[in-house]
Amino acid sequence: MFSTRRLLQFLWRDLKQDSPPSVYEWQVLPFGTTCSSCCATFALQKHVLDHNQPEEDVRVALQGSFYVDNCLQSLTSREAAMALEDKLQHLLAEGGFDLRQWASNDSSIINHQPTNVEVSFIASRSRVAPKKQRSIPRPRLTEIQELTGSATWRYVPSGDNPADDITRGLALQDLCDGSRWTHGRAFLKLPPDEWSEQPCSPHNEPESEMRRPAVAVLTTSVSSLPDPQQHQTLYDYLEATARQLHGAADPATPMTADAYAVAELEALQQAQRDSFPEITKLKASKPVAKSSRLMSLAPERDEATGLARVGGRLCRSSDLTSDAIHLIVLNPQHPLTRLIIQDYDDKLHHPGPERVFAGIRRRYWVLRGREAVRRYQRKCAECRKWRGRPDPPKMADLPPTRQRIFKPAFYSTGVDCFGPYIIRVGRRNEKRWGILFKCMTTRAVHVDLLTSIDTDVFLMTLRHFIARRGRPHELLCDQGTHFRGGERELQKFFTALQPELQDSQPTDQIRLQPSGITTFQRLLGERDSLLFNYF
């Protein structure tokens, strides 16, 4: 039969690096391997099956109430529990199984256990016996004293206390097996009624320990006004503040102008108290610190409103109001300042930041005001919409005549005429017209002069163009829809010219396409400068 002992081997050399390790082998199955729980359950069930006719209650308890090595059983009476306890111990003892660590809700069942069972402290780590000694907290010590009576505690003389052996410098051999430090005093194994008793002195409660009280004080400012961050506009916030101060919970109750003025004053006072601790010094008529943000503004307190305002040299001005002379100081990071900037931006229909900043400066002095206005307008949807750059329109697809990539110049040619121009020949004035041939692919331009607008002159000019540039595959003309001024004579010329051009197409092999084209507008706009240089 195959033995599994060779699967449970390990190496050990007792921290001696210069010696080869020794091979150790488990003679019994240790509890800790992956198969330990399965093997223990199999051995327990096999022992029950091999036993000669076990009683019904014992067999049911062993087969249905055991989980590995733990048994959980509920019985109807105390006598039945004691009987089952004796049967289980007797049956399992035959197979080498000793049941330990009994627990029950009836103390008589625990007392029914044999008296030869000993419990000793072997070793402990981590939380049970930490390396560092910790004092018992006072609340936990008080709880222990409340849950236990004075008769539960027993006195051990100092000479019999084994805990002192480790602190008195005993040798290691004195602390080995058999010492009282390992197993405790011998009288602890005797019944409690055989322990030596020593009369205890009356227990007196110690006086309360006098300790210096430690007080932690947290000061928070409690505001009775609504939170500005919970409102979208300045009007909504002032309305909520006015109703809270007035006590009008019904939204249908109208608020007066005086109520809104009082609400605005309270909101500004609260904003300054939240942002500037210098308000306390100004209220006490003391100068602000040199490191304060308000030092450069020469702040002063308005006794009528209780607001901190900007000082200055405009006190004698009769053309300005008191709010314009002494501006109200505001913090740019406060939520109320954001609502004020939003209100001015909406009223001015989302102009530039300088316009909004100028409007705010008529009454308020916002620290780093321009930056605060720009920061708000960068997040404003309307401002971003008005300042957004329009997307360029998508251009139409290029016609085939513009995509003659592997063809020579003037393969697809557009033609257009312009004029007339009055020139002086000798002593008389004559008319001259210009004709423009343009390559639709390369944008090359050929300009020629027409002495008249008859058919012969146009055909002669076309042959002249073919001799210089080559025969085009197709000619495109707008039939006079883009001539300057819409001269009637030029339209008649192209109308009369159309049939003769059609007659010459089979001979010259030129396709005439009278489709609308709009590529001559820029060139026609420059014709004056071209003709001036030409003549």
Query: For 366-385, what is each residue's pLDDT tens digit?
Result: 999 999 999 999 999 999 99
Query: For 93-114, what is each residue's pLDDT tens digit?
Result: 777 777 777 788 887 777 777 6
Other Cβ atoms closer than 10 A to 350: 18
Number of domains in the chain: 4
Residue 138 included in any domain? no
Give the count of alpha carbons within 13 A of 502, CB side only.
8
Query: In the chain, helix, strand, coil percent, each to 5?
Result: 40, 10, 45
Q: Specify the pLDDT at position 517.
A: 57
Do 321 and 435 fall into the same domain? no
Dihedral, 188, 194, 198, 201 alpha carbons, nearest 10: 90
Output the six-digit token pair for 24.
């150790």
Dihedral, 260, 263, 264, 270 alpha carbons, nearest 10: 180
Residue 83 included in any domain? yes
CATH of the domain at 420: 3.30.420.10
362, 387, 412: which is the final residue of a domain? 387
Measured CA to CA, the distance from residue 379 to residue 342 in angstroms comes to 11
Q: Which domain holds residue 466?
A: 401-534
Do 383 and 258 fall into the same domain? yes
Do 380 and 253 fall into the same domain? yes
Do 246 and 383 fall into the same domain? yes
Q: Specify the pLDDT at position 378.
A: 93
Do 316 and 372 fall into the same domain? yes
The greatest distance separating any two alpha carbons of the chain, rounded to the nearest whole angstrom, comes to 159
Do 113 and 166 fall into the same domain? no
Q: Specify the pLDDT at position 334.
A: 93
344, 363, 387: which is the final residue of a domain? 387
Residue 442 included in any domain? yes
Claim: this prediction has a pTM higher than 0.75:
no
- Which stretches in the chain have pLDDT values below 70? 1-3, 52-54, 114-137, 150-152, 169, 177-178, 196-212, 217-223, 248-250, 478-535
Cα–Cα distance list, 46 to 41, 49, 310 (Å): 8, 5, 97
99, 119, 139: which is the final residue of a domain? 119
Whether 410 contacts 446, CB under 8 Å: yes
Do 179 and 272 fall into the same domain? no
Measured CA to CA, the distance from residue 358 to residue 161 in angstroms comes to 89
Do 328 and 435 fall into the same domain? no
Residue 454 included in any domain? yes
Residue 137 included in any domain? no
Residue 141 included in any domain? no
Do 408 and 383 fall into the same domain? no
Q: Specify the pLDDT at position 344.
A: 95
Whether 152 contacts 192, CB under 8 Å: no
Residue 317 included in any domain? yes
Do 236 and 167 fall into the same domain? no
Tell me the pairing of strands 474-476 and 300-301: unpaired
Q: Specify the pLDDT at position 484.
A: 36
Do 371 and 434 fall into the same domain? no
Do 495 and 517 fall into the same domain? yes
179, 187, 129, 202: which is closest to 157 by C-alpha?
187
Residue 485 included in any domain? yes
